[in-house]
Every structure is written in C-alpha cells, then in structure tokens.
Amino acid sequence: MLGITILYVEDNPDNRLLVRRLLQAGGYSVIEAETASQALNVLTTTRPKLILMDINMPDMDGYTLTGKLKANPDTANIPVIAITANVMRGDRERTLQAGCDGYIEKPIDVDRFLDQVASFLAS
C-alpha cells in the first residue's frame, strides 16, 4: 500500500474526513479535491493510482467529470470508482455507463471499505 496515491473527489467535509482516515489507516497516500475543478487541477501535476469520485457535486457532477477523465489520454487509464448515495434501481448501471470502473455505496461500510479499494487497485 505504501506509495499508492488515491485522489478522493468529494464536496462533503465529513465524508472526506472518514475516507481520508480509513485510507491513511490502510497505508495509502490521499489527495483530496472538494470540486471537479480542483480535481482537474490536481490531475495536471499528479497521477494517482485510483480516483474515488462522489457523483453529486455542486460545480460538475461525477458523471461529467468521469467522462472528461476517460476522454483525456493522460487520465483515461486511471480507475475511477464512484462513491455515491445514488442507490436506486439503475443508478449502478448509469454510473458504469458514465465510465466509472466501479461503484461503492454510501454510507460506506467501514469494515469492507479497504478491501473494496484493494480489489479495485488489483483489477
């Protein structure tokens, strides 16, 4: 886990705190972005191994941001995992169709979260 950097794009400070603590406890390096614009700025200088993406954000939703990342050759190969409270029928499929490589439901299951992240990094 050492040396693995994960970008977490999330506008909610409580969610950022929880995920940061879990990831750091698992030995990951975490970079946070509160908005899609901040995430795009981070990605001009940093190449994380994984992006955890909130879907419902104020400036640009996670579907749109994921589409931009997947269309850019510099970021297209970085796995994007949606972390979202959108858990109605069809939401998972919509997330995957938008280009996300995986999906984690909110509220996050703290007992399973690090295993979920590790499985996305391994695939």
Structural domain count, the chain: 1
Q: Give the CATH number, domain containing residue 17.
A: 3.40.50.2300
Domain that holds residue 30: 5-122
> How many CB atoms lie under 10 A from the CB of residue 53?
32
Sign of CA dihedral 100, 40, 64, 58: positive
Q: Radius of gyration (Cα) for the chain, nearest Å?
A: 13
The tens-digit pLDDT sequence of the chain (123 residues) is 567 999 999 999 999 999 999 999 999 999 999 999 999 999 999 999 999 999 999 899 999 999 999 999 999 999 999 998 866 778 888 888 999 999 999 899 999 999 999 999 997
Predicted model pTM: 0.94
What pLDDT shows up at residue 4? 96
